[in-house]
Amino acid sequence: MSNIVIIGAQWGDEGKGKVIDVYSRKVDMIARYQGGNNAGHTVVIGKDRFILHLIPSGILHKGKMCVIGNGVVVDPKALLEEIKMLQSRGIDVDGRLFVSEEAHIILPYHWKLDGIKEEKKGRIGTTKKGIGPCYADKVARNGIRAVDLLNRDVLRQKLQSNLDEKNAIFSKIYGVEGFGFDALYKEYLGYGERIKKYICNTTVLLNGAIKKRKKILFEGAQGTLLDVDHGTYPFVTSSNSTAGGASTGTGVGPNKIDKVIGVVKAYTTRVGEGPFPTEFGPDLMERIRQKGKEFGATTGRPRRCGWFDSVVVGHAVMVNGIDEIVITKLDVLDDLETIKICISYKYNGGVHKHFPADMQAQAGAEPVYEELPGWKADTTGITTYSKLPKNAKNYLKRIQYILNTKIVLISVGSDRKQTFPKY
């Protein structure tokens, strides 16, 4: 048995899509366990570029089975558009894609609530795709699940009850128009008809595969520091993006997971609002942003960029139980004279190596840096670790030493081929 979780160990956008694509070759199934179409996983294969928001990027490998687990919130319209895109590019998903009957469904009133709250209650930096309000309905025990789309009576009752509540909120609290029942009911019954061939009991499917000694890769959507419990709350997503979410989001017990692999950039980025202790100044920010093409795959928003933060990644190693690390985008640092690594924070009158929970401490943390010489050489054509410049190797060795976690894979470009093992 060799079941692995691949997790982002920063604020997301670490290159998980590419890494999942690489590891997918070695497994039989790929299971997504949290988030929704607020994620954007990019895979470049030669001249082809795929951006996937819901379907695991393992779908690009012929014959691999892909699961959207119960912990994912699904916008059926977005799912159907993604399926259509893949089919138009010669990738068949029928018989290979499975959607949990327990996955909760995003509806238009979730989008509307997301947008209103973002504008009127202070910016969190959400994608406004209804993810948070859908999870809120799930926790409040009034959500609509994929299986409900297949039952006319259950969908009618749940949708009417939700609309009664949501329309009252829209009109009485926000002074905006709500939604009519008939058109929405008909639309979502239609979605149910179109996706019912993918809907099944994925918990039974996954556990059955494990009994047959099939290998499964569990795929998270957002990074560790966006986890609703362990991230920079409230500037987080609405689900558990950490490795523990792989069990709750698929129904596979934690004793069935053999390894956790963390993905990190050679520097740090985040999208949206919230604290970012190692954030660059404007000149270096724009330089790295342009070279690294740091714009959101889902929203197109420019990402904030900063130095590698070992406090953040150390926190991720701890809460995920990360066994191994993959470093991406090393090439983006090729032109720099000197490179910094944050090794601790100064806050509350002391020096700390652990990430603080307190919002004011996060916002006011002053990074303590080590400086290393850059390598001033193009690494994008390198295919083995031994050929990396000496200073690039020293940088990687220092990160590995500080984190006390083995680096196993290095990426020096967006293409599938620009990846090689450290050992």
Active-site positions read 13, 41
Specify the pairing of strand 104-105 against strand 65-68: unpaired
**CB-based contact 99:59 (threshold 8 Å):** no
Please name every residue paired with 100 in a beta bridge, in sequence order, or none if there are none: 200
Give bridge partners of residue 369 from the DSSP assignment: 342
With contact defined as beta carbons under 8 Å apart, do 4 and 261 qualify? yes
φ and ψ at residue 194, rounded to 5 degrees: -80, -25
CA atoms within 13 Å, Cβ hemisphere of 56: 36
Euclidean distance between the first and the last CA atom of the chain, given in angstroms as a whole number: 23
On the question of a cis peptide bond just before residue 133, with omega within 30 degrees of 0, the verdict is no
User: Minimal CA–CA distance to 129: which of 30, 242, 238?
Assistant: 238
Give me the sign of the Cα torsion angle 82, 87, 92, 94: positive
Tokens of 356: 């603080």
Residue 272: count of CB within 10 angstroms of its CB: 19
Q: Hey, which bits of 168-307 come out as E strands?
A: 199-200, 216-223, 259-265, 268-270, 304-306
